[in-house]
Amino acid sequence: MKLDWVGPEGCKQIKQELGVTPEQAEQFLCGRRSIRTFKEKTVPRNVLEKLLEVACSAPSAKNQQPWHWTVVEDPAQVRRLAGMVADWMRMVIQTDPEAAEERGFKRVMAAWDNGNERICRGAPHIIVAHADKNWPFSTEDCTLAISLLDLYATSMGLGACWGGYFYKTVNAYPPLFEALGLPSDHLAFGAIMVGYPKFRYQHIPPRNPIRVTWK
């Protein structure tokens, strides 16, 4: 089958010898872990660029590939932006204590005040995926792209963890949105912390039983 809009000369050749077995794929996928403890070591820019390149291979609705990326490279900047998340959390604790309790903000702030940073977990880098807020599939498309980035990071000896507190704050707190320099017609649809893991896991943890209905 041939596509009218792209020819083989514009595509990379698939190397069949690099294919993985089902057993290898199972261990790789099931062995993925969310890394929350990082070494004090930065990731080279070319490695971060490779992560983004692979992430952009994700499927997207109508092949729109709507994602844009903002990479915070400087660990000091990551810490500064995490502080802005903390500022917003403190505001929510004051204005909507019930919501703050439900989201665990009080626990996160108590840890912050004791020097335990649970917002970006001491990661040297954080990557934000953002896209046109009016594209109806931005959430799904960016989630798929970040998922590929997460998996590929593991293959490169890196660790990653989704930054839920961070990206939710981006859309709720204009000072953080502006500090990241996002376009006014965009929203953040995910953020992921990236760095070198401090520890290596040796086992695959059990998961909940499959919940499925067969028809």
Question: Which CATH number characterizes residue 61's domain?
Answer: 3.40.109.10
User: Can you tell me which residue has the tokens 């990206």?
Assistant: 167
9: in domain? no
Q: What is the pLDDT of residue 2?
A: 64
- pLDDT above 70 coverage of the chain, percent: 97
- Scored b (16 or more CB within 10 A) or e, 128-151 reads bbbbeeebeebeebbbbbbbbbbe
- Give the C-alpha separation, 151 to 134, whole Å: 28
Q: What is the pLDDT of residue 13?
A: 87
Q: What is the pLDDT of residue 212?
A: 97
102: in domain? yes
137: in domain? yes
- Give the C-alpha separation, 25 to 27, whole Å: 6
30: in domain? no
On whether the pTM is more than 0.75, the answer is yes
pLDDT tier at 18, thresholds 50, 70, 90: confident
DSSP, res 151? H
Average pLDDT of span 175-191: 98
Q: Which domain holds residue 181?
A: 35-195
Is the pLDDT score of 210 beyond 70? yes
6: in domain? no
Q: What is the pLDDT of residue 78?
A: 98
144: in domain? yes
- Give the C-alpha separation, 167 to 9, whole Å: 39
Average pLDDT of span 111-137: 97
Q: What is the pLDDT of residue 12?
A: 85
Q: What is the pLDDT of residue 88?
A: 98
Average pLDDT of span 108-135: 97
Q: What is the pLDDT of residue 69?
A: 98
Q: What is the pLDDT of residue 10?
A: 75
Average pLDDT, the chain: 95
The total of structural domains in the chain comes to 1
71: in domain? yes
pLDDT tens readout for residues 61-81: 999 999 999 999 999 999 999
Cα maximum dimension of the chain: 61
92: in domain? yes
pLDDT tens readout for residues 81-119: 999 999 999 999 999 999 999 999 999 999 999 999 999
Average pLDDT of span 37-44: 97
Number of Cα atoms under 13 Å in the Cβ half of residue 63 = 1
